[in-house]
Each structure stands twice: as structure tokens, then as C-alpha cells.
Amino acid sequence: MSTKPLAIHETPIPGLLVIDLPVHGDARGWFKENWQRQKMVAAGLPDLGPVQNNVSFNQAVGVTRGIHAEPWDKYISVATGRVFGAWVDLREGPTFGAAYWHEITPDVAVYVPRGVGNAFQTLEAPATYTYLVNDHWSEAQQARYTFVNLADETVAIPWPIPLERAERSAKDLAHPRLADVTPVPPRRTLVVGARGQLGRALGALWEGRADVDCVDRDVLDIASAESVAAFDFSPYGVIVNAAAYTAVDLAETPEGRRACWAANATGVGRLVEAARAQRALLVHVSSDYVFDGEAEQHTEDEPLAPLGVYGQAKAAGDLLVGTLAQHYVVRTSWVVGEGKNFVRTMAALAEKGVDPSVVDDQIGRLTFTQDLAAGIDHLIRTRPEPGTYNLTCAGEPMSWAQIAAEVFTMTGHAPERVMPVTTADYYAAQGTTEGDGTVAPRPRRSVLDLAKIEATGFLPRDQRDALGAYLAAS
């Protein structure tokens, strides 16, 4: 029996991996750990997450099955016998049609990614061929298989037993040649909350992509269990959650509290389970409101300490997303995009001759949706370590009053017209106070540390430069 150590080997087909398995034997027989998640993931194997184990018993030498590309990942091995395994990349892309073959014995396993065609031929019988998959078989799933003929001349697999002497099924004999195969497309990207500020920015950024679907509440309402249950998530490998309840003051009311939790916590939990079922990457947008604003600047690992209902619900959503192996929580602040927002309001007041009172004791940085969308795109493309990433514009932090003064200056008006006030005085003038059930408490410092995302190679714009460009384009 083999005593070689556990090892993972790459092949010419991207993602197709050959695994050396230690097999321990004596006069009684042998033993192996055929699937050992902790050790294998540590060695470099993707975390398969198997949900079904299938066994194919083959009684004679020369039984040949395939070539089938299925809509899930597979982990293949044999319990008895010996087989010749063959694989063909049927995925859309530069390696379409690439082939690889390898003998499989009890001390060898093979990881086959979605879209790679799989086949085998028994060399020693009886052969018990077993495979784990990370999705459940169904007739609907089988309809999504892609096939290529075992005898395709372009692929040219060197079957040890010539196919004319091999035992094949009628279905396998009828499979198309490679030239007639439609490649398996890459998994799609779903944007939830398409009509929000960030959703629109993502839609504009990815407008030229045919593999992105942007949906809003009329198609997918994450606050509704029925809507989520009716939505087909199976085509998606990336889900971007740009949907959120953002009426922070209304969230303090009984009705608003329920709506806020339904969207920002319970609804996010539904997306988490959908992403988990599809083995999809979930990108979720978080907020500075998950902090109490006491720190000079907030790092990604600072303990959560939300002050109000909105921040509490967002914090709960963040924790749910963090249970996924593949996730990015993108924490941001003071978002500005299309539609009504603080910058456009200040520009309109300047033009109308109104001298506004603006709070001067809340400090942070603006985040323009163009930058937020670009940062999300960067994370999806480069795939740094999963986790939480702060993402705002860069530059010297400012108060709301300082930002308002910048808007006045950039639009040709006197910045002195902006009158700085404390948060307490601002709300007192309106007959309210923070935390009174009508006004949400705000973190006083919302400055997010950007070192972690900058270390991935993404450098956000300075907020003053971004503000100037935004006003020039408005």
C-alpha cells in the first residue's frame, strides 16, 4: 500500500487537481481518509462542501463512461479496482477543449471543477468508482449537463482499451463532437438592489458585460421570504447585495424598525443561505453606523457597537455574512451617487441663496458610488482573502459643515455662508434630539481606516478630488 504523503498537484486544465492520498495497509487490507476536509483544504484543495455521495460499480474491464460536464464540482476516487480517468475542459475560455488523463487507484483522487467534462474506463475490475458532489442531482440539473463524444478526434484521448472494444452506453455514443459543443458559460453575477444609488453605479460600470443581471425589489425583494424562495439563484457565482433599508431616522419608529430589520438582517440572512447553497461569493455593503464613533478611525476588526436601530440591523447582517466561506463585507460611509443627496442639496441651497446650518461635530469621509462600485469590482476580480474591507474615498477627514463649505466654494459661492453648528443644536432647532424615537443617534467619528483595501492594490480617490469631479459632472 502507498505511504506517500497527502499532496495536491495542478494539471493543464485550470482547477482540475490530482490528489495523492496516503493509504495504510496490512494483512487485513487497507485504510485511507478518502475525504478529510481540514487536512485537504489546508493542503490547497478547494472546500468542496459535499452534499451527495455517488457510487458507480463496474463489473467488467473496459466499461467506459462519459464525457459529462456537470453543473457542480466533483471529488473522484476509487474504493476497489483501477480506472483510467479522462477530463476535457468544456468551459468557455482559452482552455476550452484542453484534455488531461490520469490513472486512478485507491491512493489517487481527482478534484473536477464545474464545467470540466469527466470520463473513465475500467482497467481492473470490479471497479468501485465513487464521487462526492456539492449539489443535489435533479432532472432539472441534468438538463444543464454538457457532453462531448468519447471518440472525439480533436480531444484525442488515448484510451488504453480501444473504444470499439469498450462497453459504452447508447447515450454516450450519441454525444456531439467538440466542434458542435456549446461551451459552458461562466457563472453569472447578480446585483440585488439595482435601482439604488450603488446598484445604478454597478449597472453603469458593468454595462458592457453580458454575464451580469441587475434586479430590484419587483424581481427580488430580500425582505420577503416568498420572493427569495421563488427566485432562481442557481446561475450565479457572485451575488452583490446593494439593497438596504437606509432611512436611519424612520428606523427608530415601530414601523420602521420592523422594515429595517426585515431588509438589513433577516433579508441578508436569506441571501447568505442562497449564496451558501450555490457556493457563490457574496459581496455585502455595510456601514459606519455599526460603530459608536468613539475611535479616531475604525479598523475592520474593531468590535461592533451600533448606537441605533439602523446600525444594529446592519451589524446583524454583517455577522450573518461572515458565516460564509466566500464573502466580502464592504464597509463604507457617507455615500453619494445619483438622486437626492447631501452634496446636491448643498449645491441647490448655494444657488438659491440659502445659508444653511450644517453640523460640524460629525467627522468622516465621503464615498462616491463610482468609487464604491470600482472597489467592489476590484475585490471580485482580484479575490483577496475573504472578510471585511473598509472602502471610502481617501484624504483628510472633514465634517459635514466643511464638506458643505467645499461645495459652496466649488460652485462659485462664498463658503462663509455655511454656518457650523453642533448636532445637538441642529436638532434642538427642529424641536428634536438624537435618540428620542424620531432621530437616530449618529456616530461622531465615521473615519474608516483604508490600509487593508489599499494593500490589495485598490487606491481610492481623495474625497476633495472626487467631490470636484462629481459637481463638474452634475
Q: What is the CATH number of the domain that holds 94?
A: 2.60.120.10
Is pLDDT at 453 greater than 90 in this prediction?
Answer: yes
Whole-structure pTM value:
0.87
* Annotation marks residue 24 as catalytic: no
- Please confirm whether the linkage preceding 67 is cis (ω < 30° from 0): yes
Q: What is the pLDDT of residues 257-304, one digit of tens each?
A: 999 999 999 999 999 999 998 999 999 999 999 999 999 999 999 999
Task: Tell me the pLDDT band of 222, cut-offs 50, 70 and 90.
Answer: very high
The better pLDDT of the pair 116, 136 is held by 116
131 is catalytic: yes
Convert the chain into a string of H (helix), E (strand) and C (coil). CCCCCCEEEECCCCCCEEEECCEEEECCEEEECCCCHHHHHHHCCCCCCCCEEEEEEECCCCEEEEEEECCCCEEEEEEEEEEEEEEEECECCCCCCCEEEEEECCCEEEEECCCEEEEEEEEEEEEEEEEEECCCCCHHHHCCCEECCCCCCCCCCCCCCCHHHCECCHHHHCCCCHHHCCCECCCEEEEECCCCHHHHHHHHHCCCCCCEEEECCCCCCCCCHHHHHHCCCCCEEEEEECCCCCCCCHHHCHHHHHHHHHHHHHHHHHHHHHHHHHCCEEEEEEEHHHCCCCCCCECCCCCCCCCCHHHHHHHHHHHHHCCCCCEEEEEECCEECCCCCHHHHHHHHHHHCCCCEEECCCEECCEEHHHHHHHHHHHHHHCCCCEEEECCCECCCEEHHHHHHHHHHHCCCCHHHCEEECHHHHHHCCCCCCCCCCCCCCCCECCECCHHHHCCCCCCCEHHHHHHHHHHHC
| In a shared domain, residues 158 and 248 | no
pLDDT at 232 over 60: yes
Q: Is residue 1 part of a domain?
A: no
261: CATH: 3.40.50.720
pLDDT reported for residue 341 = 92
Structure confidence at residue 1 as a pLDDT band (50, 70, 90): low
List, for residues 48-101, the tens digit of each pLDDT value: 989 999 999 999 999 999 999 999 999 999 999 999 999 999 999 999 999 999
For the chain, how many structural domains are there in total? 2
Kindly state whether residues 79 and 142 are assigned to the same domain.
yes
- Whole-angstrom distance, CA of residue 34 vs CA of residue 107: 9
Asked if residue 122 belongs to a domain, the reply is: yes
Is residue 403, in this structure, part of any structural domain at all? yes
- pLDDT at residue 362 is higher than 70: yes
Name the average pLDDT for the chain.
95
Query: Is 52 among the domain residues?
Result: yes
CA nearest neighbour of 400 among 448, 345, 461: 345
| Domain end position, chosen among 151, 180, 209 | 180
The torsion angle over the Cα atoms of residues 401, 402, 405 and 409, rounded to 10 degrees, is -170
Residue 2 lies in a domain: no
Q: What is the mean pLDDT of residues 316-343?
A: 95
Task: Give the separation between CA 257 and CA 248, rounded to whole angstroms.
Answer: 9
Q: Which of 180, 208, 239 is the last residue of a domain?
A: 180
Q: Is residue 168 part of a domain?
A: yes
Q: Is the pLDDT of residue 44 over 90?
A: yes
**361 and 402 belong to one structural domain:** yes
The C-alpha atoms of residue 341 and residue 272 are separated, in whole angstroms, by 30
> Which residue in the list 75, 111, 131, 389 is annotated as catalytic?
131
Residue 59 shares a structural domain with residue 105: yes
**Residue-range definition of the domain harbouring residue 140:** 7-180
Do 44 and 156 reside in the same domain of the chain?
yes
Predicted confidence band of residue 6 (pLDDT cuts 50, 70, 90): very high
Min mean pLDDT across 120-124, 235-239, 438-442 is at: 438-442
Q: Is the pLDDT assigned to residue 427 strictly greater than 70?
A: yes
- Pair (130, 150) in one structural domain: yes
Q: What is the mean pLDDT of residues 319-333?
A: 97
CB 109 within 8 Å of CB 2:
no
Q: How is residue 433 written as a grid cell?
A: 434630539
Q: Are residues 277 and 342 in the same domain?
A: yes
Residue 279 lies in a domain: yes
Question: What average pLDDT does the segment 151-163 reach?
Answer: 97
Q: How much is the pLDDT for 474?
A: 81
Residue with cell 428634536: 432
Instruction: Tell me, yes or no, whether 77 and 195 share the same domain.
Output: no
Q: For position 65, what pLDDT does the model report? A: 97
pLDDT of residue 436: 76
Is there a single domain that holds both residue 54 and residue 203?
no
Whether 2 shows a pLDDT value over 70: the answer reads no
132, 52 contact by CB (below 8 A): yes
Once rounded to an integer, what is the mean pLDDT over residues 451-466?
A: 97
With a cut of 90, say whether residue 138 has pLDDT above it: no
Q: What is the pLDDT of residue 464?
A: 96
User: Which of 158, 180, 202 lies at the terminal end of a domain, its last residue?
Assistant: 180
pLDDT reading at 435 higher than 80 = no
Over residues 381-387, mean pLDDT = 96
For residues 197, 201, 206, 208, the Cα torsion angle rounded to the nearest 10 degrees is 110
CA distance 25 to 33: 12
Same domain, 116 and 216: no
Give yes or no: residues 172 and 226 share one domain: no
Residues 199 and 102 in one domain: no
